[in-house]
Amino acid sequence: GDGMARVTEAHIDARTKSILAAAERAFARKGYFGATMQDIATEAGLSAGAIYHYFAGKEAIIEAIGDARSEDSRDIIAGIAREAGASLDAFAMLARAFFTQLQPRHGDRGCIDFELWSAALRNDHVRDTIVRGAEAVIAPLTELLRQAQANGDLAEDIDAEALARVLYGTFDGLTVQLATGQPADVDRYVDALVAMFSGQMWSSRKVTRRAAAPQRKAE
């Protein structure tokens, strides 16, 4: 009956998650192109044949990893937006929530991202997955920044999407530093990012908007 269908669905869901986790470990160790479906199956404790019941190949696995991350990102942003609106607090909370994922206890996230970026140079499917994942963060972040402009909290002459991309880039930037073994401290990095974003990095308030404005030649 219905209960049996739910049990089966829960089993498939749990098995799928365990395969994705196994794939992330395999990609971190052997690289996207180096890891085989057999490697992923072994890591997941499955036979090579069994894994194909769940995923047609590595591209399908990457897509599922990307989709799961995109969903997580959207949930994090939506939850904080509900709680704190488009306030400075919300952006500080978002920074903490996202950068916590790069703490060592969260595993090989940085190495995997590095692997996928390099794979994207040679594989359009991987590239499209990465672009979708970025958009899952940049689009709602842009919307929040536009709300902050409408509230009068954020200067209206700053391009909201460009600012969202800058903020998104700080995540990739720290990922690169950590994945290459540079001595970056996640908590201090976030403190510095929030200080920059809130305008508190300067010791005096003498920094004028004019000094910070882009110096563009007249059209």
Cα 94–chain centre separation: 12
pLDDT at 202: 85
Q: Which residue has the tokens 């969202």?
A: 164
pLDDT at 116: 83
- Residues 110 and 102: beta-carbon distance below 8 Å: yes
pLDDT at 201: 87
pLDDT at 119: 84
pLDDT at 180: 84
pLDDT at 19: 95
3-state secondary structure of 159: coil
pLDDT at 137: 93
Q: Which stretches in the chain have pLDDT values below 70?
A: 1-7, 104-110, 205-219
pLDDT at 5: 64
Residue 117 CA to residue 40 CA, distance in Å, equals 20
Q: Which residue has the tokens 């500080």?
A: 92
For residue range 85-132, list pLDDT tens digits in order: 888 889 999 999 998 888 766 556 667 787 788 888 988 988 999 999
pLDDT at 102: 81
pLDDT at 14: 87
| Burial class of residue 168 in the structure, from the number of CB atoms within 10 Å of its CB (0-12 exposed, 13-18 middle, 19+ buried) | middle
Q: What is the largest CA-CA distance in the chain?
A: 71
Residue 75 CA to residue 70 CA, distance in Å, equals 9
